[in-house]
Structure 1
Amino acid sequence: MSRRERKKRAVREKIQDELVRLISLKGLENTTVDDLCEAADIAKKTFYNYYGTRQELILEVCQIRLFNRLQENIAVAIKHHNGLAAQLGFIIGEMELFIIHAEAFEKELINYMLANLSTLTGSEQSHSMQAGYEHMYRAGEAELKPGLTPEFCAEMTVAMINALSLGLLDSSKEEVRQRTGLLLTYIQESMLQ
C-alpha cells in the first residue's frame, strides 16, 4: 500500500473511531458532521471527500462492526460445526452473546442499521447477510425440509433475526436468552428435517 493510501486509510479510520466515541458520549442522534470534523481534527470538506453523507459513514461503521462479525460467524459455523442445526445454534448463540454484552453505541448502531435497511446501502448489506446464510443453507441443503430452498430459508432467517434483534436491544439477559432460544427452535423445526 502506498503512503498516500495509508494516509487515506488512517483518516477514514480516525473518522470512524471518532463516530464510535461520540456515539458513546452523546448518542447517535446528537452526533453531527460538525462534531465529527472537530473530533477528528479535519475540515468539513475533508469529511465529504471520504463520505457523501453522515448516513454513509454510519452504515460503513455498521458494516465493519456488525455485518463483518456475522460473516465471520457464518464462516466459523460452516468450518467447525457439522450440520445446519449445530451451525444455526452457533450463530444464534453468538448473536445472543453480542446482544447481551453490547455497549450502548453498538445498540444504537444495530437500531440505526435495522431502521435503514430499505436504503440502497442498507439493502446491499441486507443482501450480504442473506448471501452468507444462503451459502450455509446451500452447503446443508439435504437437511432442509422438502420444498424449501436455501434462498427462501436465508431470506426468512435474516428477516426473523433482524426483527428479533430490534425487539431485544433493551431487554434483560434472561429475555434475550429465552427469545433467541425460541428463534433457534423455530428455525430448526420449521426449516430442517
Structure 2
Amino acid sequence: MRDPQPRQDDPQKREGLRERKRRETSQRISDAALELFLNRGFDATTLDEIAEAAGISRRTFFYYFASKDDILTAYLGRRTDELMAAVRENSSAGEPIDVVCNALIKLASKFGDRKTIATAGLVSGSEFLGIRNQGRYLTFEQGVADALFELWPKKERRDSLRLVAMVSIGALRLAVDSWLEHGGKRPLAKYIEEAFRNLKAEI
C-alpha cells in the first residue's frame, strides 16, 4: 500500500495567517502613531518618526496607510462591524430605534478611554480631518441600516428602517459632540441615553 499523500496546507488557513499578520502590523503602526500624535501633536509628527516607532520602513508604512491622516480616520472608523454586530445581538430590545439605542449604549464603554477622547479631539480640531470623519458617520448609518434589514427583512419596511438608521446616527453625533465638549467627564453612554430620550420625545 502506498503511503498517503501528505496533506497540503489549507489555502484559507494560510490566508487567515497573512490577514492576521497584516492586521497586527496595521495596529502596531496605528498605536505608535497615536501615541506620537498625543505626545507631540499631529502636525509635528513625521512619517519617519511613525515608521521608526512602529519598527517598520517608510515604504512599509505606505503599504498600510496612504498618509498620517488616514491613521486617525481609520482609528475612529473601525467601529462599523462592531456596531452591526451589536445591533444584531440586541434584536430583542423591541422596536428598531430601541435596538439601535441599546447597541450604541453597549458599545459606548469602548469609547471612553483617554486615547479615543484625545484622538476624537484631534479630528474635531482639524477642518480637513473633520470633513473626512463625517464620512465615517455615513458608514455607520449604512451599517446600522444593513443590520436592521437583516432583522426586519420585509422590503416594505426598508424606507422606515433607513430613517431609523439616519436619526439614530444623528443622535449619536450629538451625543459624541456633547461628550467631547465636556472632556469625557461623564460616560458617553449617558449622553447617548439623553440624546435618544430627547429624540423620542420629539417624534
| TM-score normalized with structure 1 length | 0.69
CA contact (8 A) 2:32 2:54 kept: yes
CA contact (8 A) 1:88 1:184 kept: no
Decide which of 56, 76, 100 is 2:89's aligned counterpart.
76
How big is the shift at 1:130?
0.7
How big is the shift at 1:129?
0.7
Instruction: Give the number of the structure whose alpha-carbon radius of gyration is greater.
Output: 2
How big is the shift at 1:88?
3.5
CA distance in 2, matches of 1:150, 1:160: 15
Instruction: Within 5 Å, give how 1:122-133 maps onto structure 2.
Output: 123=135, 125-133=136-144
How many residues in Structure 1 have an aligned counterpart in Structure 2?
179
Task: Please list every run of 5 or more consecutive structure 1 residues that lacks an aligned counterpart in the other structure.
Answer: 143-147
The one-letter code of the counterpart of 1:91 is A
| TM-score normalized with structure 2 length | 0.66
Partner of 2:76: 62
Decide which of 132, 154, 160 is 1:149's aligned counterpart.
160
How big is the shift at 1:54?
0.8
2:192 is the alignment partner of 1:180 = yes
How big is the shift at 1:58?
2.1
CA distance in 2, matches of 1:163, 1:72: 22
The one-letter code of the counterpart of 1:106 is T
CA distance in 2, matches of 1:182, 1:98: 18
* Change in 2 beyond 3 A, CA 1:190/1:43: same
Task: Please list every run of 5 or more consecutive structure 2 residues that lacks an aligned counterpart in the other structure.
Answer: 1-13
* Change in 2 beyond 3 A, CA 1:112/1:71: farther
CA distance in 2, matches of 1:72, 1:141: 16
CA contact (8 A) 2:145 2:161 kept: yes
CA distance in 1, matches of 2:171, 2:97: 16
Q: Deviations along 1:57-102, whole A, 9 cap, x unmatched? A: 22222233x3343233222222x43333541441242255345xx1
CA contact (8 A) 2:108 2:189 kept: yes
Partner of 1:164: 175
How big is the shift at 1:30?
4.9
Partner of 1:145: none
2:49 is the alignment partner of 1:38 = no
Identical-residue share of aligned pairs (%) = 13
* Change in 2 beyond 3 A, CA 1:175/1:55: closer
CA distance in 2, matches of 1:153, 1:4: 38
